[in-house]
Structure 1
C-alpha cells in the first residue's frame, strides 16, 4: 500500500515522558486511558467501539465545548507491545465509514501513523511518524501546508498525556 505521494513528507513528532515505556504504551492502547487525554483540550470523548488488535479499531466521537460533534477512527494495523504501534486514523461517520474532516475539506481521508517507544532511565521517548494514505494532489498539498497546525495540535494532546501520566504513578 502506498502511504504517500512523492510530494508529501512525513510529519515527525518526538516527545519524552517521565514514565516507564509500559505505562506510556498502555495510555495509548487502553480505552479507559485514551478517554482521559486523547484529543483536543475541552473535548468530550465517547467510545463507540474499541477493539485493540491488528484489524481492529478505536471508533469514537469527540464533542467540542460549543457542541459540534465529530466522529473519528483509529484502525490498528500492527501492534508490538511496548515497542511500536501502527494505525491509520481518519474522520468517520457514526457507523465508522470514512468522512471528510469537518474543518478542512481537502485534509487527507486517512493518515498512517507509526509510533515507537524507547525507555531510558524510567523515561520514555515516543516518536510518531505520520503520512497521508494515497492522497490526491490536493490532499498532499493540504497536509504540507497544515503541517504546523497538526504539530501544534499533537503538542497540546501530548501535553495532556504528560499530565495524565503523572496520575498513573
Structure 2
C-alpha cells in the first residue's frame, strides 16, 4: 500500500498487527461509530462522539474520557477513504499529526492492519513516541475484543 502522506521514518510511529478476521469486518469496526466508540483509545478509556461523518472531508469530533481523570477533545478530518483498504485523516486538535490506517487482506480471512501516525517534525514524534507505542497496542487489544463480538453477531 502506498503512503498517503509524505514522511520519513524519524517522523512516524507505526503499529502493525495481524487480525484473524476478514478485512471487511476490520474496516467495519472503524467505519461504524457504534463499534468504533467501544474500542477507540487505550485501556480504560471511553468515548463520546459529537459528530462522525465518515466521508472524505467529513469531520470526527469526539471526547476521550480517561479512566481516572481527564477529558481529551479530538477533532479530525477524513482526507481519504478507500474501503476496505485505507483511511487517512488529519488532526485539527493538539497534538497535531496525520494518520494513515491501511488494511491488507491476507489469506484465510486475516488482515494486516498498519496504523501510521505522521508528524511534521522528528522532535514532536520523539516526544510522543515514548508513551504512544504502548497505548496504540492497547487500542489494538480493544479492537481485537470488539472484532470477536462483531464476528458472532
Q: Does 1:20 align with 2:30?
A: no
Paired residues for 1:153-164 under 5 Å: 153-164=135-146
- Rate the CA distance shift 1:118–1:42 in 2: closer, same or farther, 3 A: same
Q: Does 1:114 align with 2:100?
A: yes
Which residue among 126, 133, 139 is the counterpart of 1:144?
126
Q: What TM-score, normalized by structure 2, do the two folds share?
A: 0.85
Q: What TM-score, normalized by structure 1, do the two folds share?
A: 0.78
Structure 1 position 44, deviation (Å): 2.0
* Structure 2 runs not aligned, ≥5 long: none
Aligned partners of 1:3 and 1:112 also within 8 Å: no
Q: CA-to-partner distance for each residue in 1:105-156, whole Å, 9 max, x for gaps? A: xxxx421111111112111111122211x44xxxx31312432321111001
> How many residue pairs were aligned?
146
Which residue among 104, 115, 127 is the counterpart of 1:128?
115
Structure 1 position 90, deviation (Å): 4.7
Q: Does 1:46 align with 2:48?
A: yes
* Displacement over 6 Å in runs of 4+: none
User: What is the distance in 2 between the residues matched to 1:11 and 1:74?
Assistant: 18
**CA RMSD, Structure 1 to Structure 2 (Å):** 2.0
Comparing both structures, which one devotes a greater share of its residues to helix?
2
